[in-house]
Amino acid sequence: MDMAARHHEQRLFFSTGTRHGEGVDAIEGLGLWPAVFARYRDLTRLRYDFPLVLVDRGPVAGTLRSLSSVVDEVLQEIAPRGIGGERLRKHVLRLEREIRVLLAGGSGGRLAELWAEATPRLAAPGDPSAEGVLTHIAEKLQLDGEVVDCDRAMPARVLTHLWEGAQHRKAKAFRTTIDRLVIKLSDILRAAFIHSQAGQGADALRASLGGGHRDTFDFNAMSRLVARNVPKDELPAARRRRIEGALAVLQSQRFFPDPRLADRPDPPESYAFRYDNCAAAAAAYRERLPRLAEVVKAISIAELEADGAYVDTRHDAFFANFDERALSADDIALFPDYLVCVPPDRADAPENAGMMDMLSAGLPVKVLIEATDLLEEASVGTGHFAFGVRQVRLANTATGLGGVFVVQTASSNLYALRERCAQAFAHRGAGLVSVYAGAGAVGELPPYLTAAAAMESRAFPAFTYDPYAGDNQAARFALADNPQPEADWPVTPFEYADETLQRVIEETPFTVADFVLCDARYAGHFARVPRERWNDAMIPADEWLARDPKSVGDAIPYVLAVDPDNTLQRVILDTRLMQIAARCRTFWHRLQEQGGVHNSHAEILLAREKAKWEQARAKELENLTAAAVASAPAAAGPVAETAPVAAGSAPAAAADAVPAAPERNPDEAWIETARCPSCNECQNINDKVFKYNENKQAYITDVKLGTYRQLVEAAEACQVSIIHPGKPWNPNEPGLEELIARAEAFK
């Protein structure tokens, strides 16, 4: 079979997704992975961010630590530097790996438990010391907590842990305030009692004196003496009611109840703040709002009473009308936040339909939403898939609600974004954390790699949005941790041995097609091409996408993959997949702009300023040249570096060669090329008449490749009014009278 015929089969596959003939092999069952993942086949051998320790003991309780960082810290503390500590380091690093193996095998538990389980597995018959050393080190660990791997359940566990940490800190501050006020109010009541008739009675006096002296005193006689002229109650009735009422509210509130009351009969039961749906959380918040207002009112009254600043005539009326409408954001921020972990399959359920309303209302709710499937069926029955726009746009939409702290990330990147997540939980008001943990995908890849593939390929980019970080988008929005954020696709060096066993290092892009390759459901969009049928028409998918669609010709896009023997393969893609990739890239471009990368406004402004600067420079040169000519009578005439470019001339050459300025025909169409900021408007109207020179500035090729109407419309669309349409070349073109009148403005 000749080259053309083979190429035809590949083209047929590209156009239709149909594998016909030889050399376009099905990939089902081949176990192909994106080539750059070849080195990650065994994650237990790598030291990376996972597993994580959800620290709940020790000085950093409530935080996250990677197992590797815990091990590094221990080694730094106990292993002598240099060769002396080498043996110890080896033992501990082997133990770290063993814990990874245990987790990969389905084990779980706290760090201390896993450490103890892994230790005997490392005991070698010839080296019994290892077990003893590792057991000894375990006792030195400063922290402990559940250890979690990067599986599908991990995001909810990790975010719940961070939320609990934030609530714990809030509870501490809240309890400090409440306890202080309870003591103050109790002191006021106690002092009033002591100075009252009841407080000066024989029984009260007896009770206030130490046991050893009780029998030596006549408390009845003492009471008669000291209780003379004592008021029945030092506190006016209204004040007593107010203080006792505030005290009762503070002691019985259920937001952060007093843990010391837990063993008393009938202690105040804490409210629940964790939910699995938005409707229940919003309902609970609204139902408790009057109780919350009562507590705020009690705190305010207690503060005034404690300072002796309560003035009945001034404060009574205010507190008589105090209810939830009087609450400020500062008041609400004292209380617990609600956490809603929406189960992955319930994001679209009716009970979560009000999520955006809840977030935009600024309720103190933090919502974890897990993107379920980034690739969705485009429509029922077509068998085609589409890029899951809804999932990807959810977090982006939330950034426009105002006041919502947003974090979007793949689960593989959650540890790297732990500080931002902690900030989201510390944020006053609503927060949304959207995580993709590899759900929906079918294949052999571990969830960590599936999630990492989604983020690397721009299918699920990471970003954060802190609404109060500053008064501009640059301060608020960050394209967090996406690799090479300025590029369409990240590129990494990929090393392999070629057919002659020579080492080759190739810069390999990771596109959305690589991500789709990880999902067995879409294997039909790929075809493996055996090495003997590789040809020049096959080009990398990123290069195919970068080309102008009109000039892509017969090129067939491919991605590099490896099979289970790590043999390099080329896998071609069909046109539908390339459409998805292009769409994904469009979304990525929009996100880049939000993050200040390739911002179109900034680029147009820059080009405009550059054009202005060049024009001023040209003018200056022109003046200098004119002055030189004037002082040299033999010179031929004026010259200009940036003479206007007439239709059909070569503008780049004009700039370089400094020709004599031509006498311009006013009827001829032309562009002030040097001032063009490359906005593309003219090319959108006719890309044959308007072309860019090598400086990406527009010039006119041949007016006869278009109509006079297009010239006039381009002049009107041009952002800097540098297109001059001249006179029409075709006297028979319809509507010329009107067009000539419109062109007058651009003479």
Rule CB under 6 A: which residues touch ligand SF4? 671, 676-682, 690, 698, 717-720, 722-723
Q: How far is the CB of 684 from ligand SF4 (least distance, A)?
A: 8
Question: Shortest approach of ligand SF4 to residue 696 CB, angstroms?
Answer: 9
E strands of 104-163, at which residues?
A: 109-110, 144-148
Least separation in angstroms between residue 325's CB and ligand SF4 is 55
In the complex, minimum distance from the CB of residue 671 to ligand SF4, in angstroms, rounded to a whole number:
5
Give min distance, CB of 705 to ligand SF4, in A. 15
Query: The tokens 């080190």 sit on which residue?
Result: 137
- What is the nearest approach in angstroms of ligand SF4 to the Cβ of residue 592? 22
- The side-by-side arrangement of strands in the sheet containing 670-671 is 645-646, 670-671, 723-724
> CB–CB of 12/18 below 8 Å?
yes
Which residue, chain included where needed, has tokens 């029955």?
Answer: 381
Smallest distance, Å, CB 146 to ligand SF4? 59
Which residue in this structure is represented by tokens 């994106």? 34
Q: Which is nearer to ligand SF4, 306 or 720 (CB)?
A: 720
Beta bridge partners of 508: 492
Nearer to ligand SF4, 147 or 711 (CB): 711
Q: Which is nearer to ligand SF4, 695 or 719 (CB)?
A: 719
Q: Whole-angstrom Cα distance, residue 371 to residue 343?
A: 10
State the minimum distance, in angstroms, from the CB of residue 722 to ligand SF4: 5
Instruction: Report the candidate in 483, 507, 505, 489 with the shortest Cα–Cα distance to residue 544.
Output: 489
Q: Measured over all CA atoms, what is the biggest interatomic distance in the chain, rounded to whole angstroms?
A: 134
Length of the chain equals 747
Residue 6 vs 675, nearer CB to ligand SF4: 675
**Beta carbon nearer to ligand SF4, 477 or 670:** 670
- Closest approach of ligand SF4 to the CB of residue 39, in Å: 45
Q: What is the CA radius of gyration of the chain?
A: 37
Residue 413 structure tokens: 């990147």
556 beta partners: 538
Q: Which is nearer to ligand SF4, 303 or 681 (CB)?
A: 681
Instruction: Work out whether strand 670-671 and strand 690-692 pair parallel, antiparallel, or are unpaired.
Output: unpaired
Query: Least distance (Å) from ligand SF4 to the CB of residue 97?
Result: 58
Of residues 704, 745, 705, 693, the one with CA closest to residue 723? 745
Q: Which is nearer to ligand SF4, 487 or 717 (CB)?
A: 717
- The gap between the terminal CA atoms of the chain, to the nearest Å, is 62
Q: Cβ closer to ligand SF4: 65 or 675? A: 675
CB of 709 to ligand SF4, least distance (A): 16
> How near is the Cβ of 717 to ligand SF4 at its closest, in Å?
6
Distance CA 677, CA 656 (A): 19
Q: What angle do CA 449, 96, 49 make, to 5 degrees?
A: 35
Nearest distance in Å: CB 692, ligand SF4: 8
Taking the least distance from each CB to ligand SF4, the nearer of 444 and 694 is 694
CA 31 to chain centre: 31
| Minimum CB distance to ligand SF4 smaller for 192 or for 718 | 718
Distance between CA atoms of residues 560 and 35, nearest Å? 5
CB 271 within 8 A of CB 284: yes
99 versus 611: smaller Cβ distance to ligand SF4: 611
Q: Are strands 491-497 and 503-509 parallel, antiparallel or unpaired?
A: antiparallel
- Minimum Å gap between C-beta 678 and ligand SF4 is 5
**Is the Cβ of residue 69 or residue 701 nearer to ligand SF4 in the bound state?**
701
Measured CA distances, 59 to 16, 63, 160 (Å)? 61, 10, 19
**CB nearer to ligand SF4: pick between 581 and 723:** 723
Secondary structure (3-state) at 458: coil
By beta-carbon proximity to ligand SF4, the closer residue of 587 and 692 is 692
Q: How far is the CB of 661 from ligand SF4 (least distance, A)?
A: 20
* Residue 651 neighbours by CB under 8 Å, 6+ apart: 645, 673, 693, 697, 699
Rounded Cα–Cα distance for residues 327 and 329 (Å): 7
Q: What is the DSSP letter of 413?
A: G
Q: Which element (helix H / strand E) includes 305? A: helix 278-306
Per-residue exposure over 544-556, b if at least 16 CB sit within 10 Å of its own CB, e if not: bbeeeeeebeebb
Smallest distance, ligand SF4 to C-beta of residue 673, A: 8
Residue whose CB is less far from ligand SF4, 144 or 713: 713
For 4, counting Cβ atoms within 10 Å of its Cβ (0-12 exposed, 13-18 middle, 19+ buried), the class is: exposed
Tell me how far apart the alpha carbons of residues 210 and 45 are, in angstroms, rounded to a whole number: 70
**CB closer to ligand SF4, 110 vs 612:** 612
How many CB atoms are closer than 10 A to CB 743? 22
* Rounded Cα distance, 23 and 21, in Å: 7
Instruction: Please give the Cα distance from 90 to 105 (Å, whole number).
Output: 22
Cα angle 484-490-491, degrees, rounded to a multiple of 5: 115
Q: Residue 377's Cα: distance from chain center in Å?
A: 25
Q: How far is the CB of 548 from ligand SF4 (least distance, A)?
A: 16
Nearest to ligand SF4 of 557, 644 (CB atom): 644
- What is the rounded (10 degree) CA torsion for 255, 261, 267, 273? 30
